Amino acid sequence: MRKMSNIEVIKNPYVASGKKGQIPVTVEWKGQRMIRGHSLQSSVRDIVRMVQSLDVVKINVIGSPGTGKTTFAHALAHLIHQISEKDFKVPFAVKFLTKDELLHFEETLKGLEPVNWILIFDDVSFLNALVSKNEIEKLKQKFTIIRHIERNGVQVDVKIITIFLTHYTLSMQKYLRQSNFAYYTSVGSSELDNMVKIVGLHYTKLLLKFQKICSNALTRGKFTFNLGHKSKFFTYSYREPFIPLLYHDGDKLRIVVSPKREWIDPFCSTCTNSQPNPMQGGKSVKEFAEDLVSKFGSQIARNAVRIKLYQNGLNVYPKSVKYALTYIDKHVKEKLPNLQELADYFDFSNDKTVLNAKYTKDLEIVS
């Protein structure tokens, strides 16, 4: 079998040779069979590629209560930061925020470190009914400068991805509901007309099909697709591990399936730090820290922790280093010098890391 990222193509007797009308290709993701055209990872790569051109990308996740919006948002954020760092070497920190933190967005921005952020705003439905028109205008103005984070009098430009979770397509003020991408966990009967206006009349058949899929998933615990022949079907078990969604990239609409974030990767330091009270498990902090120091030495361990914290939006460097970072940001922004020139001057290389054999077992490296 031929590997595609962490999806493996499976030889399937139902797959044709790439001609028009071929039967959908099925693949495996971590041992679970799925239809390749339903790839969530493929949709995330659309997002990550757009982030290379735009500094601010907006995503809406829309659906009725209880249809998995919050769970999906965590999986989406995880894949975005994972694929962005792997494919483009652009790291992101993740932060899970509430409606109140959106309403007090100026204070929220002041609390962010100048790193690239994926900001998830949970349950922002009917925001315009909760605040005055003047407050909405202030919020809109703050969003126009969201990528500029000021520290010590210096403006640092970062990349921002916002994910808004809402129950209804029209539940937010028009400016705030505009997005580059959208995922739908459900399409209610009252939403159908709104959806047709957004995606186009030619997608009415797909929207009706998705309504039926969601109904079957909730009532029967499974949802099924025809594989091209009347006698050949492909069936997913609902939430074991996938749920169905509609994905709209501003042009095309298609079905994708998503698991929980924990199913993709049970442990992720970036995602664990996204919420105020992360869950703790496994080794105690003391045990892990002592193990880290014993393997790498105190100085390397401390530096590694500082870098990891910084990547996740926590700047614990001494004040002198923070000032130096600000100084570098100011001059690099003016294109004098660039980062590669600085790396060359200080003799820093970006060579591929080959780990000492004594660490490979502990790190459980999987090729």
Spatial distance between the Cα atoms of 242 and 263, rounded to a whole number of angstroms? 10
Asked whether residue 159 carries a pLDDT value surpassing 70, the answer given is yes
Asked whether residue 53 carries a pLDDT value surpassing 70, the answer given is yes
Query: Widest CA span of the chain, in angstroms?
Result: 69
Element spanning 246, H or E: strand 243-248
Using alpha carbons, select from 136, 155, 159 the residue that is nearest to residue 90. Answer: 159
pTM of structure: 0.74
CATH for 3-270, options being 3.40.50.2000, 3.40.50.360, 3.40.50.300, 3.90.380.10: 3.40.50.300
Spatial distance between the Cα atoms of 12 and 81, rounded to a whole number of angstroms? 32
Answer whether 128's CB lies under 8 Å from 136's CB.
yes
For the chain, residues classed under CATH 3.40.50.300 are 3-270
Per DSSP, the three-state class of 4 is: strand
Digit-coded pLDDT (tens) for 301-351: 898 988 888 877 778 888 888 888 888 877 777 766 777 888 888 888 776
Task: Give the Cβ contact number of residue 259 at 10 Å.
Answer: 20
Q: What pLDDT, on the 0 to 100 scale, is given for residue 10?
A: 38
Distances (CA, A) of 165 to 99, 122, 159, 230, 355: 10, 5, 20, 38, 41
Answer whether 124's CB lies under 8 Å from 131's CB.
no
